[in-house]
Chain A
Amino acid sequence: MNKRSTNCPVLASKDMTAKKMIDITIKEVKNSPHNKTNLIWLEATGCSGNILSLLNAENPDVIYLLKEIVTLKYNNSLMAAEGEAAFQQFLDTLETDFILVVEGAIATKNNGLYNIIANYNGKRITAMEAVQMAGERAKYIVAVGTCASYGGISAAKPNPSGSVSVGQFLGKEVIRVPGCPSHPDWALGTIASIVAFGKPILDAKNRPIIFYGITIHDRCPRRSFFDKGIFSTKLGDRECMFKLGCRGPVTSTDCPIRQWNGYVNWPIGDNTPCIGCAQERFPDGMEPFVRY
């Protein structure tokens, strides 16, 4: 182990797994004299698939996150409260130290009326207003999923709702955790990392380098087929899917080594091409998803 070259990013990322990071975080949280950090997980213009994906997390799972790492103050899908009282919890949290997670893009057309998230004192609150309010006060802002990170599907041509990314909307630094949806380890690992160490090491696109440092193509188990020029001609084949339109060469995630849903499989493992769902130009720049 000690003989490993330290300048190899693959080995470095293998040594620093989400699990390890979270273990350290829990230790930090327990040793800290302060209360757990507050978290707002705001669903905006999207499919709410990232909070669903978070529910698929295991070791640690979502209950562990809520018990040991953060105090979740507001989330539309999970919170027991409803109506004005629920939104009051959102407003109260703005007066504290908190991390803001946004999933979904920000619909800006007609002053944000395409996405209303609450009704407070008889006034409709748009997702745009809520992100503005929380974005101004949050200690850290994390965009989870491709819509929040880059606009994603919600901003797909011709972008009927005028959706933009969280970073573009707020005009300030936002940590991006893209993916459609984001892998639960990426989201959880990033939150845990912030709690324990502050801002994680980011790449030029503000993505945590431990999850997004290397392209799928570089670590693809089918890479040897590519190198030898052996290609699949249809879905279900076992060779390299470059000629079917695989976006692995332009997509940077650790999917090949991490895999999904309890680490059992991933799109290429299912004999289908990567569609670049974690990449900036998804979906418009990644189509056709399958090409014969």
Chain B
Amino acid sequence: MGQKITINPLTRISGFLEIQVEVEKNQIIDAKSSGMLFRGFEKMLKGRPPMDAIYFTQRICGICSTAHSMASTLALEDILNITPHGNDKMIRDFMHGCEFIQNHLRHFYLYTLPDYVRGPEIQPLYSTTHSDYRLSLNLNNELSKHYIESIEYSRSAHQMLAVLGGKAPHNHGIFVGGVSVNIDSSKLIKMKSILNSIKEFVINRMIPDVFIISEHYQDYFGNGEGYRDLMSYGVFDAYSDQSLFYIAPQVLINGQKQELNPDKITENIYRAWYEANKVEQRPIDPTIDENVYKEEAYSWIKAPRYEGYPMEVGPLARMYLSGEYTRGFSTMDRTIARVLEVKKIIEIMESLLERVSLQPTPQGRFEFPQKAYGKGLIDTSRGSLGHWVAIENQGIQNYGIITPSTWNLSPGDSRGLKGVVEKALIGTRIEDIKNPVEIGRIVRSFDPCVSCATHVFGDGYSPFEIRIV
């Protein structure tokens, strides 16, 4: 019987996460990841006007609300059979890019950095729970200054989003049919100017900073590995022009690349606080109820699986699958991939700006059919996000959401397969059992967003026909 360690709150993430590990002879032999918030968005969405889902679902998450507006809009456009005008689509993708920058900057500097660098002498950034800081005083002070500098640049990423989308978080501009903004030269030049200043910060500060950290924490190339099975729903993939292209939908299982088939996605509720007569939920199944007293359960997060496999999603999955970063799958690789992805996204955004023309948005008036269903799958800052919508009598009959953090932070399933973060923790060597700093570092490398992961999902959207092979 090993010693149990519980970390709750696991701070510097979005939302509420508890990590429990069992340690024997300084090695983690078991791990449990528990999402600690339930609001029930899919129940709330029932009966609401379909169009409202775009603004409503953004409230799932404060740090990645744009992601939900993208997935929701795509699902509704799927129902309405609409393809936005090319110019609008480019502006929309640019807005989505703003969120990647905002999120990755905040995650790296505000959430990750304090794990490795002693923060600026301001509370509550300075009081820490461990002392494993390895940078020289000079380097430490330099990076801690960059923590403060970074606030300006993540803020200005949100400012770009607001110029095009009204405000951030929770923008208004991403909408069915494209966007609501009428782009003009002053807006365009503002984008170029802000993006340019962010790019300089990323190249001159952020990228060198992550390599300084990785040099001093080489051992973190040796832990946090996970399953090595990766997935992406694709993002910036609708363009033939290479300078605008990032990644097409795909999975990597046991080292084999395959095309993504969304019909292979299921959710297992064995270890989650929900009750249903089937432990394996298909998208066609009806909404299920929660049961906070369920014996075998330990999380509000369900366990999504692809063909039965837990899949890692996020920047490392994308960068690896697209061939942009293939060094490895560790804690440090995941952190480096996220930082390098910012540069990749900025370059795509620059190319988008080159191609955007100054024309007003051709918005329309949209009416929903009596009965229909649609889905919107897209890769977002933290990974693969899916919205599935069924409509009846022109209202939402069912709304299902599987977020990136649901994939990464899932609990175990009924077949005994651990979630991705749990798997990444098991086997890790803990140097000082009283200050298990390794746990937070590994978990944060996944950029958990528990607000997203525990909004609840898994509900049905009836018109699907799926054959289990």
Contact = CB atoms under 8 A, between A and B. Distances in A.
Interface stretch (A21-29, A85-93, A94-102, A189-197): A85-93
A71 B124 CA distance: 8
A269 B62 contact: no
B56 A76 contact: no
A90 to B, nearest CB: 9
A67 B148 CA distance: 12
Interface stretch (A134-142, A152-160, A170-178): A152-160
Contacts of A269: 166
Given A78-B110, A270-B180, A63 B151 contact: yes
A145 B38 CA distance: 18
A218 B124 CA distance: 41
Nearest to B68: A47
Interface in A196-251: 233-238
Given A115-B16, A118-B8, A181-B170, A78 B180 contact: no
Contacts of A268: 166
Interface string B163-202: 1111111111101010011100000001000000000000
Contact of B169 (A52, A73, A159): A52
Contacts of B12: 77-80, 82
Nearest to A116: B36
Contacts of A108: none
B7 interface: yes
Contacts of A47: 59-62, 65, 169, 451
Given A73-B124, A115-B37, A266 B440 contact: no
Contacts of B323: none
Interface stretch (B126-134, B207-215, B350-358, B373-381): B126-134
A80 B125 contact: yes
Given A55-B154, A76-B11, A89-B127, A117 B168 contact: no
Interface stretch (B44-52, B256-264, B325-333, B338-346): B44-52
A264 B55 contact: no
B158 A261 contact: yes
B170 A277 contact: yes
Specify which of B36, B62, B290 lies most central, judged by the most chain A CB atoms within 10 Å of its CB.
B62
B182 A160 contact: no
Contacts of A292: 365-367
B365 A55 contact: no
A234 B364 contact: yes
B317 interface: no
A92 to B, nearest CB: 11
A265 B163 CA distance: 6
A234 B365 contact: yes
A270 B181 contact: yes
Contact of B119 (A48, A80, A124): A80
A226 B253 CA distance: 58
B123 interface: yes
Contacts of B162: 260-262, 264-265
B169 A270 contact: no
Nearest to A75: B124
Interface residues of B, number: 87
Interface in B440-468: 440, 451, 456
A137 to B, nearest CB: 19
A156 to B, nearest CB: 4
A254 B110 CA distance: 30
Contact of A180 (B16, B164, B170, B360): B170
Specify which of B16, B49, B177 lies most central, judged by the most chain A CB atoms within 10 Å of its CB.
B16
A122 B156 CA distance: 42
A114 interface: yes
B43 interface: yes
A290 B8 CA distance: 40
B10 interface: yes
Contacts of B36: 115-117
B104 to A, nearest CB: 14
B166 A288 contact: no
Contact of B44 (A43, A113, A116, A156): A156
A85 B180 CA distance: 47
Contacts of A156: 44, 56
B363 interface: yes
Contact of B128 (A80, A160, A161, A238): A80
Interface string B100-120: 000000100011001000011
Contact of B155 (A43, A58, A85, A119): A58
A80 B118 CA distance: 9
B82 interface: no
Contact of A83 (B6, B124, B293, B362): B6
Interface string B126-155: 111100000000000000000010011011
Interface string A4-29: 00000000000000000000000000
Given A269-B166, A270-B181, A272-B166, A66 B49 contact: no
A72 B158 CA distance: 24
B180 A236 contact: yes
Contact of A61 (B120, B124, B151): B151
A75 B16 CA distance: 12
A76 B18 CA distance: 12
B363 A236 contact: yes
Interface in A37-57: 43, 45-53, 55-56
B165 A270 contact: yes
Specify which of B120, B122, B152 lies most central, judged by the most chain A CB atoms within 10 Å of its CB.
B122
B166 A265 contact: yes
The 9 nearest A-B residue pairs measured at CB: A49-B62, A160-B40, A270-B166, A261-B162, A236-B363, A119-B8, A260-B167, A79-B124, A272-B172
24 contacts: A47-B169, A48-B14, A48-B62, A49-B65, A52-B63, A66-B125, A72-B123, A75-B124, A78-B12, A79-B12, A80-B125, A82-B7, A83-B7, A86-B9, A114-B38, A118-B9, A119-B18, A157-B44, A233-B365, A236-B182, A270-B166, A272-B173, A283-B52, A283-B56
Given A85-B129, A157-B44, 5 more contacts: A43-B16, A53-B62, A156-B56, A266-B166, A270-B166
